[in-house]
Amino acid sequence: MRTSVITGLNQNERELFATLDPKRLPHHIAIIMDGNGRWAKKRHLPRVAGHKRGVEAVRGTAETAARIGIPWLTLYAFSVENWKRRPKTEVAFLMRLLQTYLKSEVSTFNDNNIRLEYIGRRHELPSEVQDVMQWAQDATAKNTGMVLTLALNYGARSELADAFNSILDAAAKNGGLEHLRKQLIDEETIGKHLYTSHLPDPDLVIRTSGEMRLSNFLLWQLAYSEIYVTETLWPDFDGKHLLEALRDFQKRERRFGGLTEHTA
């Protein structure tokens, strides 16, 4: 595997990858992509320029992750709060950019054997966006390599609320509240009703732009994840920065409650 991986990386990435143990790479990486607006402001450009450049960072990061054999990569692309916190014109631009990105990247996904999935309240997105999302997902459904999950119209609190309502709906179809009282709702039950029920919890969460917060992202799933924060703004993030995060990850001792797992 190592030989085939190296041929897909540039010189800087190959040098960094050579310092890693391929057998101890994280299985699932989640990234909070932050800093598009600040990137544009530093260059006296409109915010949309940062979003456009951010799409290039998504491409480079996803390709590198797939080439080194990361099984799952989840990117925080659009939050439920974005509807209120961003101007309508910017939101409309982001929706158009998402459609353009998906249409243009399907061939890249297929070339890199990447399967595309989503988490979030996708049914609340504009219908034309949902159509393109479904088309891109179907077009990559047969790929067997890395699973790239885009968190769109996503919020961790919304996810938990939806999970609890899903549990109640399941109970209503199977004896109602009396059945629910007899059945202990444990962590496994909740996990089965989360958007990410088909995914393992992330081993590593990366946040760009230096902000030290989770921003309502995968709050349940990140309970034992390692957190890596970089000052790099998302539009400047690339495969080299991803590999730097992995090098840091492999130096740590992972702790699961009272347990410790040595990663280095």
Place of tokens 């029920």: 197
Predicted confidence (pLDDT) per residue in 146-175, tens digit: 999 999 999 999 999 999 999 888 888 876
- Secondary structure, 3-state, 54-115: HHHHHHHHHHHHHHCCCCEEEEEEEECCHHHHCCHHHHHHHHHHHHHHHHHHHHHHHHCCCE
Residue 6 is predicted with a pLDDT of 60
pTM: 0.92
Out of 10, 12, 36, 82, pick the active-site residue.
82
Contacts of 119 (CB under 8 A, 6+ apart): 74, 149, 150, 151, 152, 154, 159, 195, 196
Element (H, E) at 210: none
Does the structure show a pLDDT above 70 at 7?
no
Residue 182 is predicted with a pLDDT of 65
Out of 34, 143, 153, 238, pick the active-site residue.
34
Residue 3 is predicted with a pLDDT of 47
Considering the domain delimited by 2-6+24-155+201-207+219-250, tell me its CATH architecture.
3-Layer(aba) Sandwich (3.40)
b/e string for 106-141 if b means 16 or more Cβ within 10 A?
Answer: beebbebebbbbbbbebeebeeebeebbeebbebbe
Query: How do the domains of the chain map onto residue ranges?
Result: 2-6+24-155+201-207+219-250
Burial of 33 (0-12, 13-18, 19+ CB in 10 A): buried
82 is catalytic: yes
Task: Give the mean pLDDT of 184-206.
Answer: 94
Place of tokens 């760009």: 208
